[in-house]
Amino acid sequence: MPDDTETSFAPLYSRVMLKISGEALMGDLGFGLHPPTVERIAREVKTVHDLGVEICMVIGGGNIFRGLQGSAQGMERTTADYMGMLATVMNALAMQSALESIGVFTRVISAITMNEVAEPYIRRRAVRHLEKKRVCIFAAGTGNPYFTTDTAATLRANEMNCEAIFKGTKVDGVYDKDPKKHADAKRYQTITYDEVLAQHLGVMDASAIALARENELPIIVFSLDEPGGFRGILAGQGTYTRVS
């Protein structure tokens, strides 16, 4: 007999980009990596991978170093941004370790050449990894300063022909104001790219939103803290906001 539960979880997308912040890996720590949190997120990714969905990932580096903050403290911006890119490689390697420990084959692909720890970014090779059902974790942003990992995620999602970007956050969607500070904050079920930009809602930076809009790439904002949330939202269930 077929498993009705599995049938109800038929995914709506076959290839997706999962974008998470470096801060998501901190757990309750003030900085750095919290291994149980990394492992929990890896298990969430595995539940989706087990459905046959091809997964790309981009992880920020803010839990280790943020270029803009370094620049604000007097560091030269380009140097600060490169340091932030290196932080994303560290997070990517941590996620790779967690995924492979539970049987998910991965590739860390870096925009900055560092052959000892990661593959260089070659689009056709990355696509082939996805076709072989390997999770591709794109690290070091775009390889250029002045661009955020939001922009890198949107760029790579377009290059990989992803059908949507899933932005995992600490809240279950996009609100008109901070729901942690305002009890009357309203969550949007759907919202347009232009409304996000006009209202400065902070879903992603303006460059990333504009790039998604130009290529009609939807952005799904959901909570990474809800167990099974990523898998459920792939089937159109759960609470989230769709930017399109």
User: How does pLDDT run across 138-177, given as a tens digit for each residue?
Assistant: 999 999 999 999 999 999 999 999 999 999 988 888 998 8
Q: What is the percentage of the chain residues whose pLDDT exceeds 70?
A: 94
- Give the predicted TM-score (pTM) of the model: 0.92
Domain boundaries, the chain: 4-243
State phi, psi for 175 to the nearest 5 degrees.
-115, 160
Angle, helices 35-49/77-101, rounded to nearest 10 degrees: 70
Q: What does the pLDDT read at residue 184?
A: 87
Q: Name the CATH superfamily housing domain 4-243.
A: Acetylglutamate kinase-like (3.40.1160.10)
Q: What is the pLDDT of residues 29-82, one digit of tens each?
A: 888 899 999 999 999 999 999 999 999 999 999 898 876 676 668 889 899 899
Q: pLDDT at residue 6 above 50?
A: no
Q: What is the pLDDT of residues 89-119, one digit of tens each?
A: 999 999 999 999 999 999 999 999 999 999 9
Q: What is the percentage of the chain residues whose pLDDT exceeds 90?
A: 66
What's the angle, vertex CA 81, arms to CA 202 and CA 128, rounded to 5? 80
Q: What does the pLDDT read at residue 70?
A: 67
Q: What is the pLDDT of residues 177-187, one digit of tens each?
A: 888 888 888 98
User: CA torsion 100→106→109→110, rounded to 10°?
Assistant: -20
Spatial CB neighbours of 14, under 8 Å, sequence gap ≥ 6: 52, 53, 54, 163
The arithmetic mean of pLDDT across residues 186-197, rounded, is 92
